């Protein structure tokens, strides 16, 4: 199968792209004012000490998401180009540790792809993680858990109580706990101070934070990776194998966007996502054979579940023919693609008029059902 990223690249040229989870809606007035100041921000970044600029950007972003206990003052937060680069660096560390990794299932397939070249992976279900049931982590006796929270595509998350149980269990077992929180910004339930929890439990941890899903600024983004004290030197060495530094200019832009988010930008983003999710649910509500399996999710993607894999595939292909690109569900289920065969994933971080036109075309295609028997062949 093609990877999800390959399918997203094809969708970049589509009339309506609901494939990738990147923000492709119009900037808010506050974001537009920041874009209008890019020359000023570029000059300011060039005149300031990098360390000071970096720590301020990290602090602004993490504070805007409630992460006030993040270990900024002792060099345990690293800046990288993106969450994918951060995952690549983490894979190097896991390879050197000869780690065996239990990876959440389902999740975006490039996490699996980036890790699988370095370490042995086994799937672990969201339900087992929610229960902190380390006895259900697979036959290979994993030494590391990798959890996407909130998860893509389901929107499932580790709330504070669940994270505390899981981190405590990992600390007791000596497991490394890795969290990808790239969708944290969409869900207030994920914005408790997770670093306070991690530090109190004493677990060894790596947390990947990402700016790239939140702001429609032409892919100007960074990832910030926070690690527990015992991993600082190990992770820092792996980072230096990959890059010298990130752009001071992008750090300065991130600082401004994070400040705007803290002043109400997140609420405006949440309102847009909630509006588009509600429109999606309404669009398919009266179409027989389509369910929404994650009605409580708040992230910027939405799954639709069809009565058969053949029907999901038909709708996806005909939607593409109508100029609307969405993602299939199989690749998210990296250990057993058939589990996702009935699903399509729609990105909803889009301007309302784009979303509404996409949903109009979806209703037209999905309502034109295959002949009896064809959808289940």
Task: Quickly count: other Cβ atoms within 10 Å of residue 317's Cβ.
Answer: 12
Pairwise CA distance, residues 101 & 137, whole Å: 9
Domains in the chain, ordered, with CATH? 4-28+263-368 (3.90.1150.10), 31-260 (3.40.640.10)
* Dihedral of the alpha carbons of 5, 7, 11, 17, in degrees to the nearest 10: -80
pLDDT average, residue stretch 61-85? 97
Phi then psi for residue 44, to 5 deg, are: -65, -40
Q: Return the bridge partners of 325, or none.
A: 17
Pairwise CA distance, residues 334 & 114, whole Å: 12
Q: Decide if pLDDT at 290 tops 80.
A: yes
Dump pLDDT digits (tens) for 207-236. 999 999 999 999 999 999 999 999 999 999
| pLDDT given at position 368 | 82
Dump pLDDT digits (tens) for 297-329. 999 999 999 999 999 999 999 999 999 999 999
Q: Which of 141-145, 149-153, 162-166 has the lowest mean pLDDT?
A: 141-145
| pLDDT given at position 372 | 43
Nearest alpha-carbon partner for 163 in 208, 130, 134: 130
| pLDDT given at position 249 | 98
Pairwise CA distance, residues 211 & 218, whole Å: 12
Dump pLDDT digits (tens) for 119-137. 999 999 999 999 998 887 7
Phi then psi for residue 3, to 5 deg, are: -75, 160
Pairwise CA distance, residues 41 & 64, whole Å: 20
Written as six digits, the tokens of 280 are 């999606």
| pLDDT given at position 227 | 98
Specify the residue for token string 């004290």.
229
Pairwise CA distance, residues 226 & 239, whole Å: 12
Confidence of residue 140 (pLDDT cuts 50, 70, 90): low
Residues with Cβ < 8 Å from 36, sequence gap 6 or more?
none
Pairwise CA distance, residues 302 & 280, whole Å: 8
| pLDDT given at position 374 | 44
Written as six digits, the tokens of 164 are 């505390």
Confidence of residue 139 (pLDDT cuts 50, 70, 90): low
| pLDDT given at position 373 | 39
Q: Decide if pLDDT at 88 tops 50.
A: yes
| pLDDT given at position 377 | 34
| pLDDT given at position 135 | 80
- DSSP-assigned letter for residue 329: S
| pLDDT given at position 376 | 34
Written as six digits, the tokens of 339 are 């589990």
For the whole model, what pTM was predicted? 0.96
Pairwise CA distance, residues 341 & 329, whole Å: 6
Distances (CA, A) of 78 to 94, 235, 300: 17, 9, 26
Distances (CA, A) of 305 to 8, 123, 151, 349, 363: 20, 22, 17, 20, 14
Question: Considering the chain, what is the average pLDDT of its residues?
Answer: 95
Dump pLDDT digits (tens) for 30-46. 999 999 999 999 999 99
Confidence of residue 198 (pLDDT cuts 50, 70, 90): very high
- DSSP-assigned letter for residue 265: I
Report whether the peptide linkage leading into residue 111 is cis, meaning its omega lies within 30 degrees of zero.
no
Contact 193, 161 (CB under 8 A): no
Pairwise CA distance, residues 140 & 98, whole Å: 13
Pairwise CA distance, residues 224 & 61, whole Å: 9
Contact 103, 122 (CB under 8 A): yes
Percent of the residues in the chain that have a pLDDT greater than 90, as a whole number: 94
Dump pLDDT digits (tens) for 335-346. 999 999 999 999
Instruction: Give a three-class secondary structure readout of 43-81.
Output: HHHHCCCHHHHHHHHHHHHHHHCCCCCCCCCCCCEEEEC
> Which H or E run contains 165?
helix 160-173
Contact 85, 239 (CB under 8 A): no
| pLDDT given at position 136 | 74
> Which H or E run contains 168?
helix 160-173
């Amino acid at each position: 199968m093609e990877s999800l990223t390959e399918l997203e690249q094809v969708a970049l040229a589509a009339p309506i792209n609901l494939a990738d989870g990147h923000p492709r809606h119009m900037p808010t007035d506050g974001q537009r004012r920041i874009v209008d100041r890019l020359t000023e921000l570029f000059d300011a970044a060039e005149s300031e000490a990098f360390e000071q600029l970096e720590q301020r950007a990290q602090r602004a972003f993490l504070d805007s998401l409630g992460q006030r206990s993040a270990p900024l003052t002792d060099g345990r937060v690293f800046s990288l180009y993106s969450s994918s680069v951060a995952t690549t660096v983490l894979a190097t560390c896991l390879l050197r540790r000869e780690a065996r990794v239990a990876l959440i299932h389902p999740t975006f397939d490039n996490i699996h792809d980036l890790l699988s070249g370095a370490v042995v992976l086994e799937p672990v279900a969201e339900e087992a993680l929610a229960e902190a049931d380390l006895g259900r982590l697979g036959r290979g006796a994993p030494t590391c858990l990798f959890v996407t929270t909130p998860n893509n595509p389901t929107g499932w998350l580790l709330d504070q109580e669940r994270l505390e149980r899981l981190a405590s269990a990992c600390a007791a077992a000596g497991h490394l706990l890795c969290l990808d929180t790239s969708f944290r910004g969409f869900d207030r339930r994920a914005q408790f101070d997770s670093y306070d929890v991690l530090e109190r439990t004493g677990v060894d941890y790596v947390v990947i934070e990402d700016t790239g899903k939140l702001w429609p600024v032409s892919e100007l983004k960074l990832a910030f990776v926070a690690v527990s004290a015992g991993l600082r030197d190990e992770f820092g060495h792996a980072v230096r194998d990959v890059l010298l530094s990130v752009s001071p200019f992008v750090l300065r832009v991130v600082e401004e966007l994070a400040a705007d988010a803290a002043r109400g930008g997140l609420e405006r983003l949440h309102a847009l996502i909630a509006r588009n999710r509600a429109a999606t649910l309404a669009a398919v509500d009266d179409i027989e054979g389509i369910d929404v399996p994650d009605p409580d999710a708040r992230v910027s993607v939405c799954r639709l579940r069809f009565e058969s894999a053949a029907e999901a595939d038909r709708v996806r292909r005909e939607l593409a023919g109508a100029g609307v690109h969405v993602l299939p569900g199989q690749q998210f289920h990296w250990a057993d693609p058939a589990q996702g065969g009935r699903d399509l994933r729609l990105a909803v971080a889009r301007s309302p008029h784009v979303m509404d036109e996409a949903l109009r075309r979806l209703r037209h295609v999905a309502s034109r059902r295959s002949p009896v028997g064809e959808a289940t062949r």
